[in-house]
Amino acid sequence: MYDKEKRSTVMRNIKGKGNKSTELALIAIFREQGINGWRRGYPVKGHPDFVFLKERIAIFVDGCFWHGHDCRNTHPKNNEEFWLKKIGGNIQRDKDVTWLFINRGWTVIRIWECELKRKNKAMLDNKLKPIFEKLP
């Protein structure tokens, strides 16, 4: 367990962009499945992790803790009010961004970090179906 100062330093160093472990895991899955034509880090409002421009598909890979997934069923005990507000804000922003893309005529796929594990392959394959259906 960290003291308050050390925890603050650790949390400050966590960046919301370029979450390499999750994005690289999804890239490996794309390659394994023969999925091509994606772009990573495309500069559009909402900042999807991957886009398929021609197919108008936006993919977001969301960290379970930061985006409020209930797979872990753990919540910080220290500074609980702050974390509930922070994660709640992330959840609302995710909904707003999803709505924005859908209204632009895009298909939105949100993948949870935990779904990238091998044991969840069937669930992930099901989420990726829109890509399989739209690609030549």
Is residue 65 one of the residues assigned to a domain? yes
Is residue 85 one of the residues assigned to a domain? yes
User: Which segment of 12-21, 29-38, 94-103, 107-116 scores lowest on mean pLDDT?
Assistant: 12-21
Is residue 9 one of the residues assigned to a domain? no
Residue-averaged pLDDT of the chain:
86
Per-residue model confidence as pLDDT tens digits over 70-114: 887 677 788 888 988 999 999 999 999 999 999 999 999 999 999
Percent pLDDT > 70 in the chain is 89
Is residue 24 one of the residues assigned to a domain? yes
Percent pLDDT > 90 in the chain is 45
Domain that residue 80 falls in: 17-134
Q: How many domains does the structure of the chain reveal?
A: 1
Residue-wise DSSP of the chain: ---HHHHHHHHHT--SS--HHHHHHHHHHHHHHT----EES--STT--SEEETTTTEEEEEE-TTTTT-TTS----STTHHHHHHHHHHHHHHHHHHHHHHHHTT-EEEEEEGGGGSGGGHHHHHHHTHHHHHH--
